[in-house]
C-alpha cells in the first residue's frame, strides 16, 4: 500500500499526508523540512502518486497502475511521468538557476497530459538562486489550477520568508538509521581500531587511506552511473555544442550532489558507531545499540573512554560534516578530524 515505506521511517508525516488525502484537503504547496532527504523525496513521490494514480484509494496511490510505476521509475531521476517534474541543483555552483524554475513554471501552466494534476518538486530548495526564488514566488502566489508544489529542504531558514509563508510546512524527523551498509564495514573497522589504539598516528592515517579509497571508488561509480543515464556520447556528433555544454554541467552537478550525499552517509555511519560507544558508557539498553553484532567490542571501547571524550568524538564528526558542506579542503578536513579522534591535537582545517 502506498505510504507504507514512508510510515516505517516517518510515521507522523505519513499519517498527516494520508489524512489530508482522505479528507481531500491537500494544500497547494508544501515545504518538507528536515535532514532526511531520502524520506522527503519518498514523500514527494507518494503524494505525486496519490494525485495521479489511475486507481486511487483514500490512503494514496495503488503502487501498481501505469501512473504509479512511471512516478516510481528511477531513470531518469524523478521518474517518467509527464505531469511530474523534478528540479534540483544542476549548475557547477550547485544552485538552482532561473532557467530551471522558468521551465517548471511553464510546464505547470499546461493541462495535465496523463494524470489529474501537475506536480512540481524542488529538491534542495534552499539552493534556489535569488533570481530563481523571486521568479518562483510568483507561481506560489498564483498557483496554476490542478497543480501541487513540493519544496524539499534541509535548511528551510535559507528560503525567502515569503516562500516559506506560502507553503504548508511538514517537519520530518531525523534520518533514521536503517541497516549497516556492507561497503562501510572497512570504515567502521578502521574507526574501532583507531578508538582503541591509544593515540596512534599510524591508525589515524590507515583509516584516512581507507576513507580516501572508498570515496574515490564511490565517485567513479557515481560518474559511471550518471554517464550511463545521460548517454551523451550518442549526441556528441550531432547536437548543438551549447546544449552539450549545458548537459555536461548538469551531469557534473548530479555527480557532485550524489557524491556529497554518499560521503555524508559514510560519515553518518561512523557517527552511529560513536553514538553506540556513548550508549555503552551510559549503561543504556542493548536494544539501543545500532551495531549489535559488535556489542563486546563496543563495551570494551566504552570502558577505555570517558563520557566527555565520547561526546567530543561525536562533535568532531559533526564539525567535519559541517565543514565539508562549506566546501573546505576535503582531504585536510578529514585528516584533521581523524587525528582528533585518535586523541591527538590537530590544526584546524582551512576554510
DSSP state of 292: G
pLDDT of residue 207: 95
Let me know if domain 182-341 sits in CATH 1.20.272.
yes
| pLDDT over 70 percentage in the chain | 91
Which residues, including other chains, have CB under 8 Å from residue 120's CB and lie 6 or more apart?
85, 87, 104, 107, 108, 147, 148, 149, 150
pLDDT tens across 69-78, in order? 999 987 776 7
Domain positions in the chain are: 4-171, 182-341
The closest of 176, 160, 186, 169 to 101, measured between CA atoms, is 160
Q: What 8-state DSSP symbol labels residue 178?
A: -
The CATH class of 4-171 is alpha beta
Using the predicted structure, report yes or no on whether residue 128 has a pLDDT greater than 90: yes
**What's the rounded Cα separation, in Å, for the pair 56 and 43?**
16
250 pLDDT band (50/70/90 cuts)?
Answer: confident
- pTM of the predicted model as reported, rounded to 2 decimal places: 0.67
Mean pLDDT for 94-120 is: 91
Which stretches within 153-240 are classed as H helix?
161-165, 185-195, 201-230
Q: What is the pLDDT of residues 22-57, one digit of tens each?
A: 888 999 999 999 878 889 999 999 999 999 999 988
Average pLDDT on 209-231 reads 88
> 22 or 122: which carries more pLDDT confidence?
122
The mean pLDDT of 186-194, rounded to a whole number, is 94
The band of 349, judged by pLDDT with boundaries at 50, 70 and 90, is low
| Mean pLDDT of the chain, nearest integer | 87
Integer-rounded Cα radius of gyration of the chain: 22
pLDDT in tens, 287-325: 888 898 898 999 999 998 899 999 999 999 999 988 887
Residue 231 has pLDDT above 80, yes or no: no
Amino acid at each position: 500500500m502506498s505510504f507504507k515505506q514512508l510510515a516505517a521511517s516517518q510515521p507522523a508525516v505519513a499519517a498527516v499526508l494520508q489524512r489530508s488525502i482522505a479528507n481531500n484537503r491537500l494544500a497547494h504547496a508544501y515545504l518538507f523540512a528536515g535532514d532526511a532527504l531520502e524520506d522527503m523525496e519518498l514523500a514527494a513521490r507518494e503524494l505525486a502518486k496519490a494525485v495521479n494514480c489511475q486507481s486511487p484509494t483514500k490512503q494514496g496511490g495503488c503502487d501498481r497502475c501505469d501512473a504509479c510505476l512511471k512516478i516510481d521509475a528511477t531513470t531518469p531521476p524523478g521518474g517518467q511521468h509527464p505531469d511530474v517534474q523534478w528540479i534540483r541543483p544542476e549548475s557547477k555552483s550547485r544552485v538552482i538557476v532561473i532557467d530551471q524554475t522558468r521551465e517548471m513554471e511553464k510546464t505547470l501552466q499546461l493541462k495535465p497530459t496523463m494524470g489529474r494534476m501537475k506536480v512540481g518538486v524542488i529538491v534542495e530548495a534552499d539552493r534556489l538562486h535569488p533570481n530563481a526564488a523571486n521568479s518562483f514566488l510568483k507561481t506560489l502566489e498564483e498557483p496554476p489550477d490542478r497543480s501541487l508544489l513540493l519544496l524539499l529542504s534541509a535548511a528551510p531558514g535559507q528560503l525567502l520568508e515569503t516562500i516559506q509563508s506560502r507553503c504548508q510546512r511538514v517537519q520530518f524527523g531525523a534520518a533514521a538509521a536503517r541497516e549497516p551498509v556492507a561497503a562501510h564495514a572497512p570504515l567502521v573497522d578502521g574507526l574501532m581500531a583507531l578508538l582503541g589504539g591509544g593515540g596512534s598516528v599510524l591508525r589515524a592515517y590507515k583509516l584516512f587511506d581507507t576513507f580516501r579509497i572508498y570515496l574515490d571508488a564511490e565517485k567513479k561509480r557515481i560518474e559511471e552511473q550518471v554517464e550511463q543515464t545521460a548517454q551523451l556520447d550518442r549526441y556528441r556528433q550531432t547536437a548543438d555544442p551549447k546544449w552539450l555544454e549545458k548537459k555536461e554541467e548538469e551531469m557534473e552537478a548530479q555527480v557532485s550532489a550524489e557524491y556529497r550525499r554518499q560521503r555524508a552517509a559514510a560519515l553518518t555511519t561512523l557517527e552511529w558507531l560513536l553514538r553506540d560507544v556513548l550508549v555503552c558508557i551510559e549503561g543504556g539498553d542493548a536494544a539501543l545499540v545500532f551495531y549489535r553484532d559488535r556489542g563486546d567490542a563496543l563495551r570494551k571501547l566504552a570502558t577505555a573512554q570517558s563520557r566527555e571524550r565520547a561526546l567530543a568524538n561525536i562533535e568532531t564528526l559533526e564539525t567535519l560534516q559541517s565543514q565539508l558542506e562549506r566546501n573546505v579542503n576535503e582531504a585536510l578536513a578529514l585528516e584533521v578530524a581523524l587525528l582528533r579522534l585518535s586523541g591527538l591535537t590537530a590544526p584546524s582545517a582551512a576554510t
